Amino acid sequence: MGRLQPDIDEVLYTTGSATEFHEILSFDAALRDAGIDDINVSKISSVVPERATLRTDLSPSEIRSRLVPGGSYRTVVARGSVHGRDCRAYSAIAGAWLESGYGLNVEVHGVDDSETEVEATCQELLERMAEQRDDALASEPVFACETALADGGSDEWTTTVAAAVYR
């Protein structure tokens, strides 16, 4: 008997950010900025099923149009929130195929790293995750990163999100 594959045709990569007076409102607005505020985000780990298409070419409005409001979607999410601090916040996600046929996602968040540094971290983490599986990357990673400047002089929350929505 062959292996069963989850019913996943594509993985939609998206990012968003927002600043609000409360952390949960900031997170909700960042999800809206990413086009995924009207779905139930079911957090999953990093494995991408074989034959899924990795999509980084869609705008948040295009992503929103592909999803059913109120639907539950398996999603890998990076979320970072900062409050009362001058900094550059980020959330990022990267995905790549392994030589064995399936793929992996890695998600990170933090402050003050450049996008180049974040991308290099994602690359290294994907390579190490592959090695832990006695495997290797078979493709260059796709990468989605969101950055936002946080104003430490205000009493507001800044949140960034990066997500891979399995559809």
Question: 119-128, 134-143, 148-157: lowest mean pLDDT where?
Answer: 148-157
92: alpha, beta or left, given left = phi > 0 and alpha = psi -120 to 50? Answer: beta
Contact 46, 129 (CB under 8 A): yes
Q: What are the start-end ranges of the E strands in 21-114?
A: 40-43, 47-48, 53-55, 72-83, 87-97, 103-111
DSSP 3-state assignment of 53?
Answer: strand
Per-residue pLDDT tens for 31-80? 999 999 999 999 998 899 988 999 999 999 999 999 999 999 999 999 99
> Is the Cβ–Cβ distance between 104 and 96 less than 8 Å?
yes
pTM of this prediction? 0.92
Q: Contact at 8 Å (CB) between 73 and 39?
A: yes
SS3 label, residue 23: helix
The C-alpha R_g of the chain, in whole angstroms, comes to: 16
pLDDT recorded at residue 6: 64
Q: What is the pLDDT of residues 133-147, one digit of tens each?
A: 999 999 889 998 888
Q: Provide the mean pLDDT of the chain.
A: 91
| DSSP 8-state code for residue 3 | P
Q: Residue 25 CA to chain centroid, in angstroms?
A: 19
Domains and CATH numbers, the chain: 10-166 (3.50.20.10)
